[in-house]
Amino acid sequence: MELHGVSLAFGGLQAVEQVSFGVAPGTVKAVIGPNGAGKTTLFNLVTGFLAPQAGRILFGGVAIQGRPAHRIARQGIARTFQLVQLFDHMTVLENVMVGRHRLSSSGLIAGALQLPWTRTEEKVIRQKALEALEFVGLADRAGQPAAVLPLGLKRMLEIARALASAPTLLLLDEPASGLDAVETERLQDLILELRRQGITILLVEHDMGLTMEVADEIAVLNYGKLIADGPPRAIQKNPEVIAAYLGTDWQG
């Protein structure tokens, strides 16, 4: 995934300005920066919820900027949301089953008539969804309504749902916010495990401990501009980043 000179302004506010960076396949890249630096906007641009006014976003060598979100999702880009967005009136399992949407094809009429091949497909959807729940440790909650889960598990469910779509690129928008230390540690293991499985991850995170542990590279945004991009060690020592965001605590 590559960004080339991506820009977006909301009225007079330049939310993202001439941002260019790449994420190498199979690596974890973190985007950090102060609140309002344009991180979530950047996510929305990559996932098609916003269209850039300038610049190109390449995924697998193909320009995807400006395409509708569902089409980008079908290319194999999945995401989670800063404020968890689950389907509250559906069960935990059903939430993850929706994740399989792009990989299945039964239409409205086929589903209504329960055609034989639909049933077969349904079994696969259920099986894969259960596997994803198993992976994040939520299998025992499968039958509960998603709304009753505590926040930490909701974040895990959101990740499971995204994983059910078998993404090649996974975007995690502040996955650790609201998690306690134990949960954050589990999240860290999960991210590293996903990386081991070859999934490319783009991460927005304020928890610097987590970020430093999992990220292969870090891009730093400030007022919509990219001020640094490189391995964690270099970022920690970058004076501009320290001034804008990290403070002196993280100076190596």
Shortest distance in whole angstroms from residue 96 CB to another protein: 10
Residue number, 63 or 112, with CB nearest to another protein: 112
Q: H-type helices in the chain, by residue range?
A: 39-46, 69-74, 92-99, 108-113, 116-136, 151-164, 181-196, 208-214, 232-237, 239-241
Tokens of 132: 């994803």
d(CA 238, CA 111): 56
> What is the 3-state composition of the chain as percent helix, strand, coil, each rounded to the nearest 5?
45, 25, 30
Residue number, 18 or 91, with CB nearest to another protein: 91
Interacting residue ranges for another protein, rule: CB under 8 A: 47-49, 68-71, 73-74, 78-79, 81, 85-90, 94-95, 97-102, 104-108, 110-114, 118, 121-122, 125, 147-148, 161-162, 165
Residue number, 104 or 251, with CB nearest to another protein: 104
Shortest distance in whole angstroms from residue 197 CB to another protein: 19
Residue number, 60 or 111, with CB nearest to another protein: 111
Shortest distance in whole angstroms from residue 218 CB to another protein: 24
Shortest distance in whole angstroms from residue 111 CB to another protein: 3
Shortest distance in whole angstroms from residue 198 CB to another protein: 20
What is the distance, to the nearest Å, from the Cα of residue 123 to the centroid of all Cα atoms in its chain? 27
| 8 in Cβ contact with 45 (< 8 Å) | yes
Task: Give strand pairing partners of 172.
Answer: 203
Residue number, 188 or 200, with CB nearest to another protein: 200
